Each structure stands twice: as C-alpha cells, then as structure tokens.
Structure 1
Amino acid sequence: MKKALIIRHVPFEDFGILEPELVKMEIQLQYIEGPLTDFTQFNPIDYDLLIVLGAPIGAFDDQLYPFLTQELAFIQSYLKTEKPLLGICLGAQLIARLLGAKVYPMQHKEIGFSTISINQEIPYNPLASLENIPVLHWHGDQFDIPNECQPLASSQLCPNQAFTYKNHVLALQFHMEANPSRIEQWLVGHSNELMNAKIDLHQLRIDAQKYSQLLTQAGKATFLKWLTQLQVK
C-alpha cells in the first residue's frame, strides 16, 4: 500500500476536500503536526507522497519558529527522492525557499474567493481544470518562481500563484484543498488577521456557499489529474 505523509501546522487547515480522494485510492494517510514533530524520527524514503499544508507564518521565520529548521531539512531530503510533493500556501513557500527563490511580504493581503489565470503556454498544465474557478486565497506573502520551475498560474493581486518543478513537485499559493463548508473554522482561527485586514466576513461566507460545489469538483479533478500524470494510484 502506498503511503502519504501530510504535514499540518494549524488543526483546521487540513487536506480538506482532497483527503477522501486519497482514501478512495487506498493510499495510507499519516498526519503529523509540524510545530510538534521531531522530523529526525521520519525517513523521507518511507513515503510515496508528501503534502505540506499552510500556516499563518512566513517561510523564513526560523528564528521565531525553530521547528521550521527541521521541517525544511526534511522537505529538502524528500525533494531528493524525486517522488510527488505538493505544497500549499506556506508549504509552497517553503519549497520555493529550498529551490532558491525569494519569499517576501506583499503590499496587501489576498484573502477571499477569486479566479486565477492559467498559464496556457505550459503543455498539459495540471491546473487547467481551475480555469475561471474562484479558488480560496489566504496569504500576505508571495514567492518568486525558482529557477528550473514552470509558472502555472497568476491572479490580479499576486503574479505567482503556482509552479511545478520537474513535474513531480506542485506548489500552490492558493487553497485548492480547503472545504468551503467549513469556512467558519477559518474565520474564527484567523479572526485577528481578518479584522486587521478589514476583510468582509459576510462576503466570505456568501462566496464559500456559492462556489462550494464548483470548487470541490474542480479541485478534486485537478488533484487527480496531477496524481495520474505521476502514476500515483
């Protein structure tokens, strides 16, 4: 049985709508809590898929959050295996850092549901199913596209929304995995950030309900397409 390791940093930011797809594929799931984990106890070669989820901290916040040093070393070791790796939000930013790219604050927050523009110049872009689909954005940092990587998508507020590295690595700035029906957990968990950024909570709730079915279908299709291309099944 194939095994997937999921690094989670905040309890409610889990693999959401995409987790059942791994279960259907009979892939064994193992969650670990990044801030509480001794990564030296895990061997990257034991896993067929690594998923690194988001968090409201920065990719270069090692001094404030020392656990990131171990986590980065683990991801770096996994990268060398050339097995499938999916990074979302902070996870994508950590991958960008390891590949030598800058990760830095934006001049504004990008929070809410809005569409992304898919890079049509990339053959077989794994994000093609998300064209014209409002996805959930929730970040204040952005990454540059690392060398040897292909940019996959952009948005009006953030030019670099996703990239792929050697096909087996997919990094997403946006939250394709988030379950819109559980948006209230995000609103409570990130309440201070939302208040400081003057985000309209009422509109977030409306959009979460409005786009739930569409986003769930497109998110699952995108994830399965990427896995199928890599023959992870």
Structure 2
Amino acid sequence: MTDILILTHADFCPPGHLACVLDRANLAFEVRRADHGELDGYDLERPRAVAIMGGPMSVNDDLPWLRTEIAALQRFIERRVPMIGHCLGGQLLAKALGAGIRHQGYTEMGWQPMRRLESQSPWLAHLPEEFPIYQWHGDSFDLPEGAEHLLSSPWCANQGFSWGGFILGLQGHPEMTEELVSGWIHGWPEYLDPSQPSQESAEVMLDELPRKVAELNQVAEGFYAHWLKLAELV
C-alpha cells in the first residue's frame, strides 16, 4: 500500500498524464477501481494524497459502490487529505461536501476556454487569465458551502473550486493524453453532435492535438505539483 491513492471508475478513464507525473517523480501510487468494489476493506487512514478520476456514470445514480466512495471521501476530508477530482471526481468531491449535482441538458465537449475567477489561489498560480481544458460531460456540480469558485467556462459556470485549501474539484479533464483524446473521439462517435454549440467537432478537437495536449500537460502539472506539495510528498 502506498501514500498516494488514485480512484478510477472505468478502464477508459485512467490516471493518464497524472501517472506520468508520478512516475517521473519516482512516487509510487495505487490505483483502485471504486466501481469494482475495490474500496471495500481499504484502510482509509493510510493515504496522504488522493486523486479521483472520471467515469461515464452519474454521481446521482443509486449504486452501492458510489455510496462507499463518497463515504471514503468524507473520511479523507475529515483527515484533511489533499485531494484532486477530475470531472466525475470533481462531482464526487462536491457531493461529499454536501453540494448538488445536476444534469445540464447538453454536453460540453472539446477544448473549452477556462476563465479564472480567483486571482490569489495557489492552485492557479501557474495559469494565465484564460486557458483551455479538455471537456466531456453532461452533469455539473454546484459549489459546496465555503468553497472558493476558481474557474468558469462559457457552457459551464462551475468549472473548478477549492475547499479548505486542500481540495481541488475540476469539471474538466486536465489528465488527458493524445491517446485518450483520440480514443474517446474515435471510440464513441455516437456522442458527437457538433450541431450543439457546446461541442467542438471531431476535426477541431483533433486539430493540432500534440500542441494542445502539451499545453494541457503544463496546466495539469501545476495542479499536481501543488497537490503533492500539500501532501508533503515533494
């Protein structure tokens, strides 16, 4: 068992670039599939840093493993464990903190521009006033009570929040790699509907993909560096 726990919920939503960052820093981590019941019996007093990845399900689904995961996150909150949530992971953190999750009625998809709403947050110290993060979601979180509202996009007002200084909840996917972006687009063409103004077309999403992902990696690495610093792992 390691000090870093990564929770996943689907084989096509892996840690992605986060795993590359941890490998590069020679930091061991453990990946557990929450939807496979792999939190059952897990020692919740162990991890010093927790990351929660994405998934296709809704936080509002009535699933026993979701209740188990939310209860685990609430224990980590009590312990003040630094946590970072990606898309579904951000929604799960919001839910664990008492906020609602709602369906938007449309899908926000593609390289969407983020606007900074908080100028002093150390989570955002590496970022300009506007920058893109890859998006693929139909639900969004409300802000938990006491949260700092960090980021917004044209199609989703609540793109990011921090809570207590040690939690970062994101609606987007900063962990994406070229392989993941291409795999999602080619793997689920039935979800692509460029007639929706909230979606980019496949051609636009894939255009200049190496450059876009390289820039996204820099965004992600700033988030991960602060997360690991809070956990006193770097």
* TM-score, normalising length: structure 2: 0.89
The answer on whether the counterparts of 2:32 and 2:39 sit within 8 Å (CA) in structure 1 is no
Letter of the structure 1 residue corresponding to residue 121 of structure 2: Y
Letter of the structure 2 residue corresponding to residue 10 of structure 1: A
| Cα distance in 1, alignment partners of residues 184 and 195 from structure 2 | 15
> Kindly, what percent of the aligned residue pairs are identical?
26
Structure 1 residues 190 and 232: CA distance shift in structure 2, 3 A: farther
The answer on whether the counterparts of 2:48 and 2:82 sit within 8 Å (CA) in structure 1 is yes
| Cα distance in 2, alignment partners of residues 130 and 56 from structure 1 | 28
The answer on whether the counterparts of 1:38 and 1:70 sit within 8 Å (CA) in structure 2 is no
Q: Does 1:217 align with 2:215?
A: no
In structure 2, list runs of 5 or more residues that go unmatched.
none
Q: Does 1:69 align with 2:64?
A: no
3-state SS in 2 of match to 1:147: coil
Structure 1 residues 34 and 192: CA distance shift in structure 2, 3 A: farther
Q: Which runs of structure 2 are paired with 1:175-186 in the superposition (5 Å)? A: 175-186=173-184
Structure 1 residues 74 and 189: CA distance shift in structure 2, 3 A: farther
Letter of the structure 2 residue corresponding to residue 149 of structure 1: A
| Cα distance in 2, alignment partners of residues 34 and 220 from structure 1 | 24
Equivalent residue number for residue 207 of structure 2? 206
Q: Which of 104, 109, 125 matches 1:106?
A: 104
Shift of 1:143: 1.0
| Cα distance in 2, alignment partners of residues 120 and 163 from structure 1 | 10
Structure 1 residues 232 and 190: CA distance shift in structure 2, 3 A: farther
| Cα distance in 2, alignment partners of residues 169 and 136 from structure 1 | 20
In structure 1, list runs of 5 or more residues that go unmatched.
none
Equivalent residue number for residue 50 of structure 1? 50
The answer on whether the counterparts of 1:125 and 1:152 sit within 8 Å (CA) in structure 2 is no
Cα deviation digits, residues 33-72 of structure 1 (max 9, x gap)? 121124231011111111111111111112xx33212121
Letter of the structure 1 residue corresponding to residue 124 of structure 2: L
Shift of 1:79: 1.6
Q: Does 1:146 align with 2:162?
A: no
Equivalent residue number for residue 124 of structure 2? 127
Letter of the structure 2 residue corresponding to residue 126 of structure 1: W
Equivalent residue number for residue 162 of structure 1? 160
The answer on whether the counterparts of 1:152 and 1:162 sit within 8 Å (CA) in structure 2 is yes
Equivalent residue number for residue 24 of structure 1? 24
Structure 1 residues 2 and 107: CA distance shift in structure 2, 3 A: same
Aligned length: 230
Q: Which moved more, 1:212-221 or 1:143-152?
A: 212-221
Structure 1 residues 51 and 153: CA distance shift in structure 2, 3 A: same
The answer on whether the counterparts of 1:181 and 1:208 sit within 8 Å (CA) in structure 2 is no
Q: Which moved more, 1:1-10 or 1:48-57?
A: 1-10
Shift of 1:207: 5.0
| Cα distance in 1, alignment partners of residues 194 and 212 from structure 2 | 25
Letter of the structure 2 residue corresponding to residue 34 of structure 1: A
Q: Which runs of structure 2 are paired with 1:218-233 in the superposition (5 Å)? A: 218-233=219-234
| Cα distance in 2, alignment partners of residues 168 and 9 from structure 1 | 23
Structure 1 residues 95 and 7: CA distance shift in structure 2, 3 A: same
| Cα distance in 1, alignment partners of residues 38 and 14 from structure 2 | 19
More helix by share: 1
Shift of 1:97: 1.1
* TM-score, normalising length: structure 1: 0.89
